[in-house]
Amino acid sequence: MRREEKSDLISALQSSLKEADGVFVIENHGLTVKEMESLRNELRPLVSVFKVVKNRLMKLALKDTNFEPVSDLMKHPTAVAVATDALAVTKVLAKFADEHQNLTIVGGKMDADLLDKDGIVQLSKLPSLLEIRSTIARILVEPASRLARVSAEYGKKQN
């Protein structure tokens, strides 16, 4: 890769990091091309970047960003997911790691927290924002629907 290409890649990574709400590092020792493509397809709507990048180039992109501490996690050949929906990415990575032993979650950073593998797995068990919203909507609507059912039953008994 020429110097200009490296510079362009670093700039592209830095611009995607500015809009990210999480960065995750994985090691993919022995994943087949088909498995890696499957992971990419699952992550595509949730990330702005999912790449196998040279650690040195990624560390340069991470420098002077909120995600700079992630640089310390990059010791072996890694793939990096720059997430736009970090909680959903944790769910995909944890599920994929369970199904494929060749994928190792190294860690990541979400908001102000530096996460290890266990932290990412724990986050993956939390409900998503959509699930929380639907639960709240169900809780708010349930009393009114019960009242309507009781009123309807009462009306039937009066006739």
Does 67 lie in the same domain as 7? Answer: yes
Does 143 lie in the same domain as 92? Answer: no
> Can you tell me the distance from the alpha carbon of 16 to that of 53, in angstroms, rounded to the nearest whole number?
14
Q: What CATH number does the domain containing 79 carry?
A: 3.30.70.1730
What per-residue confidence (pLDDT) applies to 159?
58
112-139 pLDDT, tens digit per residue, is 789 999 999 998 898 877 888 898 998 8
How many structural domains does the chain have? 2
Could you tell me the residue range of the domain that residue 52 belongs to? 3-126
Does 55 lie in the same domain as 28? Answer: yes
49-67 pLDDT, tens digit per residue, is 898 889 999 999 999 888 9
Does 74 lie in the same domain as 18? Answer: yes
Does 140 lie in the same domain as 121? Answer: no
DSSP 10-79: HHHHHHHHHT-SEEEEEEETT--HHHHHHHHHHHGGGEEEEEE--HHHHHHHHTTSTTGGGGGG--SS-E
